């Protein structure tokens, strides 16, 4: 997903719509960490409880933004090396010529080291304070007011436009900060809570035993508030078009391996739809249209093919033009499950397809295809003829070779779950899917990503020669 967002940003940059400044939000976060470092060194023990709570919140928000960016690839692991955590750095930064990110990391090396060490030593206490008084309750109401202002702002009035843009950025940053705080607080609770960590926290000026005990409940409340705001944003993305430049800058700076880190990856989900919205508004991408159009596009994808031979054509009712590649890319399970009828072959189409497969006299029947959200892999479900009791799901690279990299990965096909077998092949009893009560979707990996129904593509006969 990160790669696709950044490709969209690159297309916007090529058109000259936005001067992309990926370092700008990250540098701002680093400056905020530096200011906190100086403040806490001078007056940590004399600061009021309210001030400490606000500062802890800002600390986690800034640190989360830094580690969500490419700068996180240049920094040391956020969690202690003994932690069996998903935040271990997997991508090694280039040792060659210094990049702009490496230069930025060197410029703020002392601040980064201080922030990382502080989080490891007192992350639990900081998290407990940070989430103790977060309130997003009025966010949807304020966002609705902003949406009304954005709708009626005179395009010729630059002052009004600049004010609405500033308010849009402020509201998005408020939601983004809350998500980043939730992400780092969750990490602290999960990985920094052995007895030794709690003992250390009690001696810190930041610590409050009562707040630490209430941290799980406070995190749950914050998660519910974030979810409510996210639902409003999902339905009113156009209200934040004035914040397009900030959205593009943040997205352009996301680390390439962000999808490997679930807690931080979730904070970037909102940017995917926002970047799509900006691309459409700027004429870089075509609008996807409504749900009905998307379902018709999925139907357009269904065709017959013979893996290594030929198969008869299925008769499918004419539908309006649509290309499978235009369907929006997949999300992780929590977000894709509500798009089932879009990112799946509709059940009402599957039933006549199965009937057609049962009438085939060739060894192989129709083939349904999916592609992974990152475009690196494809899957083909071969609907076998009556003389076979099995259907076969095969995974390939886009070059047509077996995707052996996926062997052992979990999958779920229309409710039938398991792990991808040797040679990237899965075999099903045909009755299991014929009894399917859901649209035929495909999810792969952990956390699961929903793959996209795709138009048939040519698959290497050599790759298909063996079962």
Which of the four pLDDT bands, split at 50, 70 and 90, describes residue 335? very low
Mean of the pLDDT values across residues 356-368?
54
pTM of the model: 0.61
**Cα distance between residue 432 and residue 430, in whole Å:** 5
- Say if residue 336's pLDDT is above 70: no
DSSP secondary structure string for all residues of 341-378: TTSSB-HHHHHHHHHHHHT--SSEEEEEEEE-TTSSEE
**Cα distance between residue 197 and residue 214, in whole Å:** 16
Q: Where on the phi/psi map is residue 280: left (φ > 0), alpha (ψ -120 to 50), or beta?
A: alpha
Q: What residues have CB less than 8 Å from 458, skipping those under 6 apart?
A: 400
- Say if residue 317's pLDDT is above 50: no
Quote the DSSP letter at residue 431. Answer: H
| pLDDT at residue number 199 | 43
Which of the four pLDDT bands, split at 50, 70 and 90, describes residue 466? very low
Core vs surface per residue 191-205: b (16+ CB within 10 A) or e: bbbeeebeebbeeee
The percent of the chain in helix, strand and coil, each rounded to the nearest 5, is 55, 10, 35
Query: CB–CB of 219/182 below 8 Å?
Result: yes
Cα(first)–Cα(last) distance of the chain, in Å? Answer: 31
- Say if residue 5's pLDDT is above 90: no
| pLDDT at residue number 214 | 93
Query: CB–CB of 346/352 below 8 Å?
Result: no
Query: CB–CB of 439/414 below 8 Å?
Result: yes
Mean of the pLDDT values across residues 331-350?
51
CB atoms within 10 A of CB 340: 15
Mean of the pLDDT values across residues 317-336?
33
Written as six digits, the tokens of 453 are 């129904």
Higher pLDDT, 424 or 450: 424
| pLDDT at residue number 347 | 63
Q: Which of 101, 238, 233, 256 is nearest to 173 (CA)?
A: 233
Which of the four pLDDT bands, split at 50, 70 and 90, describes residue 202? very low
Quote the DSSP letter at residue 61. Answer: H
| pLDDT at residue number 188 | 92
Mean of the pLDDT values across residues 398-414?
88
Mean of the pLDDT values across residues 395-415?
87
Strands across the sheet containing 442-444: 416-419, 410-413, 442-444, 449-450
Which region among 105-119, 208-222, 272-286 has the lowest average model confidence (pLDDT)? 272-286
- Say if residue 111's pLDDT is above 90: yes
């Amino acid at each position: 997903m990160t790669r696709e967002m950044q490709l969209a940003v690159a297309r916007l940059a090529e058109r000259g719509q936005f001067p992309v400044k990926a370092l700008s939000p990250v540098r701002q976060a680093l400056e905020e960490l530096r200011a906190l470092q100086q403040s806490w060194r001078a007056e940590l023990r004399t600061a009021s409880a309210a001030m400490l709570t606000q500062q802890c919140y800002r600390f986690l928000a800034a640190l989360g933004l830094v580690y969500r960016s490419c700068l996180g690839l240049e920094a040391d692991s956020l969690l202690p090396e003994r932690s069996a955590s998903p935040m271990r750095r997997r991508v090694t930064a280039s040792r060659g010529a210094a990049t702009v990110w490496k230069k930025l990391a060197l410029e703020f090396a002392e601040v980064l080291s201080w922030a990382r060490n502080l989080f490891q030593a007192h992350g639990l206490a900081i998290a407990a304070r940070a989430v103790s008084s977060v309130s997003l309750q009025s966010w949807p109401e304020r966002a609705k007011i902003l949406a009304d202002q954005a709708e009626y702002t005179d395009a010729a009035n630059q002052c009004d436009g600049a004010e609405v843009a500033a308010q849009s950025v402020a509201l998005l940053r408020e939601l983004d900060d809350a998500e980043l705080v939730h992400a780092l607080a969750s990490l602290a609770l999960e990985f920094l809570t052995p007895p030794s960590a709690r003992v250390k926290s009690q001696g810190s000026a930041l610590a409050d035993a009562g707040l630490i005990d209430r941290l799980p409940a406070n995190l749950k409340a914050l998660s519910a508030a974030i979810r409510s705001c996210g639902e409003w944003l999902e339905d009113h993305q156009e209200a934040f078009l004035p914040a397009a430049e900030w959205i593009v800058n943040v997205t352009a700076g996301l680390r390439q391996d962000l999808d490997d880190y679930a807690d931080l990856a979730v904070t970037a989900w909102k940017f995917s739809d926002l970047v799509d919205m900006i691309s459409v508004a700027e004429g870089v991408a075509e609008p996807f249209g409504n749900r009905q159009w998307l379902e018709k596009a999925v139907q357009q994808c269904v065709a017959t093919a013979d893996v290594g031979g030929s198969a008869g054509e299925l008769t499918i009712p004419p539908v309006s033009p649509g290309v499978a590649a235009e369907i929006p890319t997949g999300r992780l399970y929590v977000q894709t499950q509500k798009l089932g009828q879009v990112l799946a072959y509709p059940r009402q189409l599957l039933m006549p397809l199965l009937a057609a497969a049962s009438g085939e006299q060739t060894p192989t029947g129709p083939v349904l295809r999916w592609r992974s959200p990152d475009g690196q892999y494809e899957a083909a479900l071969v609907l076998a003829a009556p003389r076979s009791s099995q259907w076969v799901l095969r995974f390939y690279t886009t070059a047509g070779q077996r995707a052996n990299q996926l062997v052992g990965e979990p999958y779920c096909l229309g409710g039938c779950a398991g792990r991808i077998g040797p040679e990237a092949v899965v075999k099903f009893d045909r009755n299991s899917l014929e009894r399917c009560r859901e649209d035929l979707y495909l999810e792969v990996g952990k956390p699961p990503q929903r793959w996209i129904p795709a138009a048939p593509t040519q698959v290497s006969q050599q790759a298909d020669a063996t079962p």
